[in-house]
Amino acid sequence: MFNLILKDVLIQKNVILFYIATIIVYLFADVSPILIVPLYSLVFINMTFSYDEKDNANILLNSLPYTRKEIVTSKYVGALIFTALFLMITYVGNYLINGTEASFPWKAILLIIGLVMVAISFMLPVFYKFKRQYLVIASGALVGIYLVTVKLFVPNFNEKLRELTQKFLTLQETQMYFIAILTIVILYIGSWLLSIRIYERKAF
């Protein structure tokens, strides 16, 4: 399974420097790491599916000595590894550029990992069920709906989102963190099992 994760990294080796360069640009622009890390983690995992769909790569994958369960598991484990890597890159970059070691508290790290896990939990089963080209169209439509909704009905939505994030980072109740972590882990495992079920029934 490690080789499957390594494959996803090697496929994108030519754009990794681009990822790092744009992360640095965002840090100079004082963009919050809470936005940067989930964005790049999701883009990275999205691109791995994009490459898998090219040239019938899934047929090749299924001809290798890996079970379909291992292929799916590599995506879920890989998503966490990629998130950790982007966390490290962003943390080091933020420290070198701004010298703000305290700008990455453990609550922010938990929030970032939680956001990625929730997004992945919904994304991957859909990726395994449908072709990515349809998802791109659907994503574009959702972004359009979001922009129109925010513009017409909730003009201060982004401000409210920032306030909600700040409230989360200032929470002191350990029990709430435990419940949130447990819920996200259950959601992630449930998504993983669902993706395995979908992928095992898929014909290539």
pTM score of the predicted model: 0.80
Parts of the chain with a pLDDT under 70: 55-60, 62, 99-104, 132-144, 146-147, 149-158, 160-162, 164-173, 203-204
C-alpha to C-alpha distance for 192 and 10, rounded to whole angstroms: 23
CB atoms within 10 A of CB 32: 16
Q: Please give the helix or strand (H or E) that residue 89 lies within, else none.
A: helix 68-98
Own/partner contacts of 195-200, CB < 8 Å, gap of 24 or more, are: 195/72, 195/75, 195/76, 195/124, 195/125, 195/128, 196/68, 196/69, 196/72, 196/73, 198/125, 198/128, 198/129, 199/68, 199/71, 199/72, 199/128, 200/68, 200/69
pLDDT by residue (tens digit) across 94-134?
878 776 554 567 778 888 899 899 999 988 998 888 776 66
Q: Pick from 178, 166, 191, 154: which is nearest to 72 by CA?
A: 191
